[in-house]
Structure 1
C-alpha cells in the first residue's frame, strides 16, 4: 500500500445512506471539542478542540450537542411501479440473489451524497415521491446485455449505480417518471481483465472501487494516477461517466 495514501486499505461496513464506514464518525468530546472514532485515518482518536470554533466562524452558526438530530430509521416509502414482463426477463437471465426490491435497497439506490437535497432528507425522515423500484446486480457483460435488452423491450428506465458517492444529483430519481425504474448496481463487476504495461493500457470492469483498483494495480507496480477524495467508495465507471 502506498505509504502516502490518505485512506485505509481495509474494507469495512459502510453506512447505508451517508458517506463513510460505520466504525468512523465525529463524536463530541466535551461541549466544545470533537474526536474521530475508529483507527482508519491519521486523525482518528485525536481530540480536536479547534474544529468547532473554526466551523462556527465559517458557517456563522453555533454548534451544540443539544442540536444533534436522531437519524431516522423507519420510512414511509411510495409504492413500487411494476413491469412484470421486464421482471420476468430479468429473472430468467439473472440469479435470484442478483435482484432486490426490498425497502432498504430501493432507498439506498435512490440517492447520491448531495447533502441538502438527498442526504438530509433521508436521515431526517423526509417524504419521498418517487424511488427506485428494483435493483439488479450484474456480474458479467452478458448480464448487462440482458438487463439493457429487457429495459429496451419493455420500456423500463435504467439508472446505473456505482459507489453512490455522486454529489451532482445524477442518482436523483425523476419524480414525474411513470415507468418502472431499475437501478443497475455495477459493483460486482470489479475485475481487471488485462493489463498492457508496454502501452500503458488496461481493460477493467466498471464496478471496481478506486481503493481496490489501486491495491490491485500496485501489485504490478502500477497506479491509475487518479486519486479523488471519494476513492474508497467511488467506482471506475462513476469516474468516467461523471468526468471526475
Structure 2
C-alpha cells in the first residue's frame, strides 16, 4: 500500500485511486453539488472504485529468495502504485481502466537494497519505476508499453530518516523517501526547517522533489528545490556515488544538475544534504484587488523586479479568485506574504503594498505577527489551495474534465500567452465536449524576467470518453506553449505526458549528452523507461 499518514502519527489512510486522504474526498452529495456548477455533467457521481474490481494479473517475474523480503505482489499495493494523480489517472481509475499495473512493489531499506534490486531487474528484463509519494501529475510513475517482461515499482518511503544534522552549517543529510510531514517532524525539534511546501507536501517525498525539480513554498528567489541542495547520493545500475558537500563550486558541470530533474531515468536518488533555515517567527500578509488584470500583471512585475523578495506573490485572475473565494466581484486578487526568522516584516509588506497600490490596486488591512490570521482573501485562497485537488476528484466523479497545467515565460510574452491559452484551450475544450469550458489562470512564481502562469481547465466531459478529451485539450495546450516559446513545465516535471514538448524544447547537443548518460548509467534500459528519453 501507499505509505499513509499513520506513519506520521495519525490514523488516516491514503486513497489508492485519487488525491490525498480517503476520508477527505467529497461525498456523493457534494459531488452532485459540484457537478451542478458545470452544466452537462452526469446525473449522479461515478462510484468510488474498488481494487477488487480490477484485473490484477499474476506477476510476470519472481524475485530471488535474497530479495523476497523486500517485495510484495499484493493486489492492493500494486494497484496503489500503478499511476500518479493526474486527472487522467483518476478518471481511468473511476472507469476501471488504469494502465498496466506493476507486477511487484519493493520497499528497500537502504542503498544496498536499491542496488541489489536494480541488479536483479537489469539481468531479468524488469522495468523499475522509482516511486515516492505517487503524486505525479505527468505520468511519471506509470509504465507504458510492453518492452519489459515485468514492472517493479520501487517505493522508497521506508528510507525516510533525517540521518545527520549540521546545526553550525544549517544543513541535514536526509533519506530520499521522507514524505514532507515526516521530514519536517524530524527537523522541528532542532528549530530548523527545509521550508519547501509544494501543494503535494503531505503526499510527496524529498526524492520526488529532487527528481522532478519541484517548485515549492516561495514565489520569489528560492522557487525550486534545486536552491536547497548541497549534495546528492545516487544509486544507478552501473555505479553508486555522492557529490561533495560544498557551499559552492566552479569545478566543471555540476554533478548534482545531472540528477536533479532526471525523474528516475538515470539513477535512484537515495540521500541528499539539504540546506535548512531557522523556522520563521515573523509573518505578515495582505491581499490587493484589481479591476484590471493587465494592471495587476504590471504590479507583480514591479514587485518581482524590486528587492523586496516576498515569500508569497500569487496573482489570481477573476475566475481563480472567485473559485477560491478570494473575491466575488470580478476582481483579480494579488496575495502577498512576507516571513523572517530574525526580524519583523511589516515594513517590507507596507512597502510592497505601496508599490502594488500605485498600479491601481485596493488593499484590505494587512495581518502581521507570528500567529496573526491573514485577511479574508488570503485565508480563502490558502484553504482553497489545499482543498482544490479533492474537489477536482469530486468533479471527475461527475464526469467532468478538470485539470491544471503550468508554464513559465518572459514578461514580454506572459500577457499574450495567457490570452492565447484562455482563447485556444477554452475553444478546444468546448469543441471536444459540446459544453462551455472555463479556463482560469494564476501566477504561482514570479521572477525579475518573467513569471509562471498556472492554468485550470474545467468542462463537462463526454461520458466514458473523458480521458480522450483530456488528451485533446492537453495537446492544444502544449502547442500554444510551444508557439509562445513557453516551457512545457515550470515545476510539474516532464514524465511521459510532456515528452513531446520536452523533445522540442531541449537543444540537440544536450539531447545527445542525455542519451549517452542514460546508456552509460542504465545499460539495460530498465529505469523508468519512456521518461525524458525513448
TM-score, reference length from structure 1: 0.75
Shift of 1:103: 2.0
Match of residue 26 from structure 1: 26
- 1:125-162 per-residue CA deviation (whole Å, 9 max, x = no partner) reads 1264x321111110122211211221223332111110
Hey, what's the Cα distance between the residues in 2 that align with 1:27 and 1:21? 13
Shift of 1:78: 4.7
Match of residue 43 from structure 1: none
Pick closer, same or farther for the CA change 1:62–1:23 going to 2, 3 Å.
same
1:133/1:180 contact within 8 Å kept: yes
Which of 108, 131, 137 is equivalent to 2:101? 131
Hey, what's the Cα distance between the residues in 2 that align with 1:141 and 1:186? 10
Unaligned runs of 5+ in 2: 1-7, 215-534
Report the number of matched residues.
205
Residue 12 of structure 2 corresponds to residue 12 of structure 1: yes
Pick closer, same or farther for the CA change 1:80–1:21 going to 2, 3 Å.
same
Which of 73, 79, 90 is equivalent to 1:107? 79
Q: Secondary structure at the match of 1:23?
A: helix
Shift of 1:79: 4.8
Match of residue 38 from structure 1: none
Pick the structure with more helix per residue.
Answer: 2
Match of residue 141 from structure 2: 171
Pick closer, same or farther for the CA change 1:79–1:93 going to 2, 3 Å.
closer
Pick closer, same or farther for the CA change 1:11–1:231 going to 2, 3 Å.
farther
Match of residue 76 from structure 1: 55
Match of residue 155 from structure 2: 185
Listed as ranges, the matches of 1:203-214 within 5 Å are 203-214=173-184
Hey, what's the Cα distance between the residues in 1 that align with 2:48 and 2:134? 19
- 1:13-35 per-residue CA deviation (whole Å, 9 max, x = no partner) reads 111221121222223668985xx
2:16/2:79 contact within 8 Å kept: no
Match of residue 196 from structure 1: 166
2:82/2:98 contact within 8 Å kept: no
Hey, what's the Cα distance between the residues in 2 that align with 1:146 and 1:211? 29
Q: Secondary structure at the match of 1:176?
A: coil
Hey, what's the Cα distance between the residues in 2 that align with 1:169 and 1:102? 22
- 1:204-232 per-residue CA deviation (whole Å, 9 max, x = no partner) reads 11111001111221111011020111111
Shift of 1:183: 0.8
Hey, what's the Cα distance between the residues in 1 that align with 2:68 and 2:40? 52
Match of residue 243 from structure 1: 213
Shift of 1:124: 1.9
Residue 123 of structure 2 corresponds to residue 149 of structure 1: no
Q: Secondary structure at the match of 2:203?
A: coil
Match of residue 39 from structure 2: 61
1:94/1:143 contact within 8 Å kept: no
Residue 98 of structure 2 corresponds to residue 120 of structure 1: no
Pick the structure with more strand per residue.
Answer: 2
Match of residue 4 from structure 1: none
Shift of 1:233: 1.1
Hey, what's the Cα distance between the residues in 1 that align with 2:138 and 2:98? 20
Hey, what's the Cα distance between the residues in 1 that align with 2:113 and 2:98? 34
1:100/1:136 contact within 8 Å kept: yes
Pick closer, same or farther for the CA change 1:24–1:79 going to 2, 3 Å.
same
Hey, what's the Cα distance between the residues in 1 that align with 2:194 and 2:144? 34
Unaligned runs of 5+ in 1: 1-7, 34-51
Shift of 1:62: 5.0
Shift >6 Å, 4+ stretches: none
Match of residue 223 from structure 1: 193
Hey, what's the Cα distance between the residues in 1 that align with 2:31 and 2:24? 20
Pick closer, same or farther for the CA change 1:127–1:143 going to 2, 3 Å.
closer
